[in-house]
Structure 1
Amino acid sequence: MDALAIINKYYPEDNELRHILLTHSRSVADKALWIADRHPELELDRKFLEEAAMLHDIGIFMTDADGIHCHGDASYICHGYLGADLMRKEGFPRHALVCERHTGAGISLQSIIDQQLPIPHRDMLPVSLEEQVICFADKFFSKTHLDKEKSVEKALKSISRYGEDGIIRFNRWCECFL
């Protein structure tokens, strides 16, 4: 699989949105690979980590987020499952799961229902170690401040809106991955 070829297909123009996606995704991929190198005992699939981290936000162009030059119709929270649909269409179901499960620290079906989120009613929690590592790594990088890695405290604050379960998962990942 060629992650850049897929990005080129959906982001063909050399514009600010493509720059944001590539810069953010590269930062997430590098952090995920750093975790893999730091924890060889986890036996993470490095090739998959890099590919999936580069593609985890492929669906952002279909959402409405002016601050990052996205002018689609869907709410930004939909970018995960929309990206997953693209990856399934491209024939990469494993990569699709990363797209779908990386928002927040994952979102449970109950949280989706309780918060009345405009996303499909199913658990969207990272399951595999690779899914968990990419989800965790993603929390350290925003798309609006591309040049900075967030502290653990700021990363934790950014996921707190998705409920207590996400905070618990994130804290467990800190113990496992840092």
Structure 2
Amino acid sequence: MTFLGLLLLPLLLSFLSSQALARKFDVGGRDGWVVKPYENYNHWAQRNRFQVNDTLHFKYIEGSDSVLAVKEEDYNSCNTNSPMEKMDDGDSIFHLNNSGPFFFISGSTQNCQNGQKLFIIVMAVRHHNPPPPTPVAPSSEAPSLPPQQIDPFSFSSPGPSPSNEPSSSTRFGGFSTSVGVGVWVILIFTSFIELV
């Protein structure tokens, strides 16, 4: 692998993982943030899974409406007087920076009362810890081997790892990838750069 390839490796891996983790949701789909969308906003929200670092995209006509992030009681009563955040540029992005419930209403009380409101729940961050080791009856057989050192640039598969070792697979947004796939992507990418 060339020096340029080694420099680009961390950048490419960072890009791939950030793209796989965060998603952008267009609120209301093609209708956007309107009074009477094709699908009720809360039905839309129930069909989706929101995670920390995802973003909500509210699209509407600037000057004719706005989006207010509010507390639950203001959501229920359509109170537009004390929002936690107001967005009114017509192309608003809201970053879901923590887990839990989020409440949004139109800046127009009448629009809110006619159903232009959204309630979502952002799932708690789950750390993918390896499962605890399975208890094994003591045996008089050979002692267990020390963990293997894996060279990420080698093309051969290592032998099976002991059951108490964490897996080399990592989950990104529902997809399972392994170190080997990342290495192949990088090798193909650097080969392409060398050809150009």
Query: How would you bin the TM-score normalised by the shorter chain?
Result: under 0.3
Higher helix share: 1
Answer with 1 or 2: which has the greater Rg.
2
TM-score, structure 1 length as denominator?
A: 0.22
Higher strand share: 2
